[in-house]
């Protein structure tokens, strides 16, 4: 009997590297979201062609919605949290609160301590070279943590920033598929879900933080700004930490032989 996961992998591999047709991605889109009026997100998340799944969460201001939504479908899905060592204390407390409240299968993902000690001994890298800081503390650790998974689930949404206005619900991310279940949700949808399920809010949200990353690179958002305007505010050309780079596979590290 044919194995749908194996068949899907073979179809994907035959369309790799990027540039050719991605038959698996096209089939999933056709089956579960042929257009914006017909989006079956639960069906997509349950589709066996996604293979082994992980959920990646920053435990930011809107993370509780994604965590609740996905874990009602997959109660024991691994929830990967990139513990950079530079988070706000409030974020770590919120992580622990949600882990207890939602009974999460939480996995803390940490950078290699020897590499961090060698490259950032005085914790100045966030200010001197924020791209390298994100690579060492986020991108490389997540790449390692995603080994063995076929698909990862992200909480990105179109309304968060102009740079995410065309965000798809499912996309290719290097060798992985990536699903953005809340891509088409609005801020009103998010707030309504918080209320309906009585989910706790991030403690920094009341202080004007709408998108929260590491403490050295995050400030409160001013009136009229995008939700993500407080991220790397002193570096206008930097808008992402590097874990969301799309199908070209940039920042993929070569492993030692």
Q: Which residues are catalytic?
A: 241
Between the two ends of the chain, the Cα-to-Cα distance in Å is 37
**CA proximity to 67, closest of 221, 226, 165, 200:** 200
Give per-residue burial for 206-216: e unless 16+ CB within 10 Å, then b.
eeebbbbbbee
CA-CA distance, 239 to 237, in Å (whole number)?
6
CA-CA distance, 24 to 14, in Å (whole number)?
10
Strand order in the sheet with 151-153: 105-109, 78-82, 53-56, 151-153, 176-179, 170-173
């Amino acid at each position: 009997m044919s194995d749908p996961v194996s068949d899907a992998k073979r179809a994907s591999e035959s369309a790799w590297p990027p540039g050719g047709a991605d038959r698996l991605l096209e089939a999933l889109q056709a089956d579960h979201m042929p257009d914006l009026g017909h989006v079956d997100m639960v069906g997509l998340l349950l589709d066996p062609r996604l293979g082994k799944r992980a959920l990646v969460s920053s435990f930011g201001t809107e993370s509780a919605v994604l965590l609740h939504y996905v874990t009602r479908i997959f109660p024991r899905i691994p929830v990967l949290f990139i513990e950079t060592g530079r988070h706000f204390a409030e974020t770590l407390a919120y992580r622990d609160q949600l882990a207890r409240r939602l009974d999460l299968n939480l996995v803390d993902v940490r950078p290699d301590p020897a590499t961090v000690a060698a490259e950032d001994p005085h914790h100045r890298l966030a200010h001197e070279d924020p791209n390298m800081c994100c690579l060492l503390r986020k991108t490389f650790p997540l790449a390692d943590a995603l080994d063995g998974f076929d698909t990862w689930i992200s909480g990105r949404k179109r309304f968060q920033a102009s740079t995410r206005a065309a965000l798809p619900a499912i996309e290719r991310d290097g060798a992985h598929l990536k699903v953005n279940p809340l891509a088409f949700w609005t801020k009103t949808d998010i707030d309504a879900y918080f209320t309906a399920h009585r989910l706790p809010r991030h403690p920094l949200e009341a202080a004007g933080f709408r998108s929260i990353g590491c403490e050295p690179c995050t400030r409160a958002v001013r009136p009229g700004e995008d939700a993500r305007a407080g991220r790397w505010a002193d570096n206008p050309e930097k808008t992402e930490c590097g874990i969301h780079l799309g199908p070209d596979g940039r920042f993929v590290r070569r492993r030692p032989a």
